[in-house]
A and B are shown apart, each in its own frame.
Chain A
């Protein structure tokens, strides 16, 4: 996997089956890393929701609900600006990124909320077709100015490479 401007290997990499029962494990991991970075409880909740929606979309649309396919999740802490980067890769059905859109929320109906949640939560969300098949989703979220104020960069536990 080659990622532009990705100078470091992922700090956490997880390979999981496309089984919805495993999503809670990934949510916990993301929440744990987000806490280390300094995200507030509310932001951590939204981050968990965004990654959950992204993985659910892979299972539902990329793999048509099959539970024995592969998904890769890679996580980084980002230094400047401080935040978190998440990459999700799969080998499922590939779709043109411009076709991935959130729906109009004024039409109140069940379903189709995942992409909206991802875009609202994350500072960056970028879907790409992988040359080897499947999709790659890159998600980035930075600390808000308020969250940044609560982080003391001089403390050893708050610094990272």
Chain B
């Protein structure tokens, strides 16, 4: 996929959901980093990143997820990943980071 990363944002109660669509790689991870920074600034109770429409993520994407987790913790926000597909999960597993994150199957589950 060559197009720029499209990131949808939804507010559900006290939770903000970011839903990027496309591959998250070196060319596109800065877009999700910027979106996360903007959300953290508003300090919702929970930040959810819905990866259902992300087929591929490289280490720059994983680094962005670590940054999002750490900045959420600093701001006393909950951070949840949703819809982690097999290729993205493999990237987390090989870097031994999968246990660091709260991962849910759906946004509804993340909202609980």
Q: Please report A residues at the B interface, Cβ cutoff 8 Å.
A: 19-21, 23-25, 27, 41-42, 45-46, 48-49, 52-53, 56, 59-60, 105, 108-111, 113-114, 116-117, 120-121
Determine if B64 is an interface residue (Cβ-Cβ < 8 Å): yes
CA distance A59 to B90 in the complex (A): 24
Which residues of chain A are near B58, meaning CB under 8 Å?
49, 52-53, 56
Main secondary structure of the interface of A (DSSP, over half): helix
The bracket for how many chain B residues form the interface is 20 to 34
CA distance A59 to B27 in the complex (A): 11
Q: A20-B25, A24-B23 are in contact. Are A53 and B59 (CB under 8 A)?
A: yes
Pair count A-B, CB < 8 A: 74
Report yes or no: B94 in contact with A42, Cβ–Cβ below 8 A.
no
Q: Please report B residues at the A interface, Cβ cutoff 8 Å.
A: 1-2, 23, 25-27, 56, 58-60, 62-64, 66-67, 86-87, 90-91, 94-97, 100
Which residues of chain B are near A114, meaning CB under 8 Å?
59
Give me 17 A-to-B residue pairs in the complex whose CB atoms sit less than 8 angstroms apart, sorted by A's number.
Answer: A20-B25, A20-B26, A24-B2, A24-B25, A27-B56, A41-B86, A45-B90, A49-B58, A49-B59, A49-B91, A53-B59, A56-B60, A109-B66, A110-B67, A113-B59, A113-B63, A117-B59
